[in-house]
Amino acid sequence: MARTPYVGGNWKMNTNGVSGVELAANVARAADDAVQVAVFPPFPYLIRVGEALAGSGVMLGAQDVSDQDDGAYTGEISTAMLLDCGVKTVLVGHSERRHVIGESDELCNSKVLKALSAGLDVVLCVGEKLEEREAGQTDAVNERQIRAGLAGVSAADMARVTIAYEPVWAIGTGKTATPADAQDAHAKIRTLLASMYDQSVADGVRIQYGGSVKPANAAELFACPDIDGGLIGGASLKADDFAAICQAATASAV
């Protein structure tokens, strides 16, 4: 099944009001229809970035979301607030939230369910740490995080879910999984999705690769049959690099 490649720019805790709007305007100018593009700016800039993206087809995303509706949750941001800001999709379970902030599989699942029920799309991030990779646990970690993260998600809602496979040791380190290793992990994730749902669901889900994707390595990664684009951190902060990565995704779609 032909899947439209999907490239996300995760700006993390970078940019400011001026540079974020400028970056968004550049992303909007470079976007083309062959690839789905989303940017995930910091919360305070969502509205201004959304205005800069208006009419471009680039989706506005948020880096996180609360699993609660409202109330006494200091510092949290609800689905209703994100929708109010024009957000269409959210990251859940990014490795920095799992491993730096300490989010559990159960909390990630609760966020996935909350976001989907509010009408938001979800990018569920999974991936193994270096010691897990060295212990041969890559596929087991991905399976655990995906089974737990998607518990209770219907086959119909899987149309709004993307998986981002991001080996933790490759994020922000300049180290990238080889295309063959990444493809292997992606193929196993797709097989897992087929066993959890069915083949047509598995064939429809985009699985992004993340971890030090750059213009120089994007094309060979995106050429792999089960790699449907990427989730980009550092290189998404440079408009030219991000545009080149999106172009590599466009080329992979042809």
Question: For helices 215-222 and 239-253, what crossing angle results, to 10°?
Answer: 20
Q: 229 vs 234, which CB is nearer to ligand PGA? A: 234
Q: Out of 7, 10, 93, 192, which residue is the one contacting ligand PGA (CB under 6 A)?
A: 10
Among 189, 182, 173, residue whose Cα is nearest residue 218 = 182
Question: Going along 43-116, which residue ranges are E strands?
Answer: 59-62, 89-92
Query: How many Å apart are CA 4 and CA 164, to the nearest integer?
Result: 15
Q: Report, in Å, the least distance between residue 200 CB and ligand PGA.
A: 28
Q: Report, in Å, the least distance between residue 72 CB and ligand PGA.
A: 30
Does residue 234 touch ligand PGA according to CB under 6 A?
Answer: yes
Extract the tokens encoding 4: 């439209």
Q: 50 vs 230, which CB is nearer to ligand PGA? A: 230
Q: Out of 41, 233, 246, 252, which residue is the one contacting ligand PGA (CB under 6 A)?
A: 233
How many residues bind ligand PGA (CB under 6 A)? The answer is: 13
99 catalytic? Reply is: no
Q: Report, in Å, the least distance between residue 233 CB and ligand PGA.
A: 2
The answer to whether 82 and 120 have CB atoms below 8 angstroms apart is yes
Question: Going along 127-225, which residue ranges are E strands?
Answer: 161-165, 207-210
Does residue 172 touch ligand PGA according to CB under 6 A?
Answer: yes
Q: Which of 51, 94, 106, 186 is catalytic?
A: 94
Q: Report, in Å, the least distance between residue 218 CB and ligand PGA.
A: 11
Among 75, 68, 163, residue whose Cα is nearest residue 121 = 163
The residue assigned the tokens 């996180």 is: 64
β 59-62/89-92 pair status: parallel
166 catalytic? Reply is: yes
Q: Which of 128, 143, 166, 186 is catalytic?
A: 166
Phi, psi of 33 (to 5 degrees): -70, -15
Query: How many Å apart are CA 139 and CA 132, to the nearest integer?
Result: 10
Residue span binding ligand PGA (CB under 6 A) among the ranges 80-88, 111-119, 206-214, 221-229: 206-214
Q: Which residue is nearest to ligand PGA (CB)?
A: 233
* Residues 107-166 within binding reach of ligand PGA (CB under 6 A): 166
Does residue 41 touch ligand PGA according to CB under 6 A?
Answer: no
Query: How many Å apart are CA 156 and CA 165, to the nearest integer?
Result: 22
Q: Out of 210, 228, 245, 248, which residue is the one contacting ligand PGA (CB under 6 A)?
A: 210
Which residues belong to the active site?
94, 166
Which residues of this protein are in contact with ligand PGA, per CB under 6 A? Answer: 10, 166, 171-172, 210-213, 231-235
